[in-house]
Amino acid sequence: MIFDSHAHYNDEAFSDDLEDILAEFPDAGIGSVVNVADTLESIDRVLELSRRYPFFYAALGIHPGECENLTEEALETVRARLHEPKVVAVGEIGLDYHWDTPEREIQQRWFRAQIRLAQDERKPIIIHSRDAAQDTLQIMREMHAERTGGVLHCYSYSLEMAREFIRLGFYIGVGGVVTFRNARKLKEVVEHIPIEKIVLETDCPYMAPTPHRGERNTSLNLPCVVQAIAELKRMDPEGVIRITEDNARQLYYLK
């Protein structure tokens, strides 16, 4: 069944009809979803969802754009929550030089601190990295990120960089963008890296695939992403679903 490795069902975009969407999961073949926190405030909701629904897991971390006022004390709150049974990763953490706020030094400090946290707690990491490929890779190397492994979520860099991340034991998160006609770079990455290194993701409510581009995204749209990957890899959609599910279970230490 389809494993959605990165979603935000805690988002208020789902506050009115979450139950209706989830009711369609079995028929649509959606088997598991990791909801990813991005702020301190989102952590409780992400945990609550993981307690309420058997197919929901949780990842806890502070997004680079949200770490301006982060403190060591707040990070200890995150650490305590990581011990809940369905928490499978630290994330999303990383560097965002596209929005470029807060300043880079602050982003880098908390990226390092959260990699250390993940290593202490033996959890893989979910990395958000935008327009910051070199610094991301450099900090990962310096921090020995290969100790926990993890995923480069919503991957947007080159094939050469993808090979570097894979060499560190990381997976490449692929979502709606791969269906866009102008996504030449990502299509090239998907075509040339092993299918064993790809995980499916929605990043919902964002990143809806063609033909739903611009709409609110849900895991129910993942078959469009599967189809695009299947075409690029010249595989059956069923094979893409089976292997990427297996990959996500490896990634999150679920096997």
Contact residues: Zn ion, CB under 5 A: 203
Question: For residue 218, which phi and psi values (nearest 5 degrees)?
Answer: -145, 170
Q: Please report how close the Cβ of residue 153 comes to Zn ion at its closest, in angstroms.
A: 6
Q: Please report how close the Cβ of residue 204 comes to Zn ion at its closest, in angstroms.
A: 9
Q: Please report how close the Cβ of residue 11 comes to Zn ion at its closest, in angstroms.
A: 10
Peptide bond preceding 237 in cis form (omega within 30 of 0): no
- Residues 212 and 215: their CA atoms lie apart, in Å, by 6
149 vs 173, beta carbon nearer Zn ion: 173
Residue, CB closest to Zn ion? 203
Segments in 43-150 forming alpha helices (H)? 43-52, 72-81, 104-121, 133-142
66 vs 203, beta carbon nearer Zn ion: 203
Peptide bond preceding 26 in cis form (omega within 30 of 0): no
8 vs 233, beta carbon nearer Zn ion: 8
- Residues 176 and 200: their CA atoms lie apart, in Å, by 9
Radius of gyration of the chain (CA): 17
Q: Please report how close the Cβ of residue 39 comes to Zn ion at its closest, in angstroms.
A: 11
Tokens of 8: 């935000």
**Residue 221, helix vs strand vs coil:** helix
Q: Please report how close the Cβ of residue 59 comes to Zn ion at its closest, in angstroms.
A: 9
**Residue 199, helix vs strand vs coil:** strand
34 vs 243, beta carbon nearer Zn ion: 34
4 vs 230, beta carbon nearer Zn ion: 4
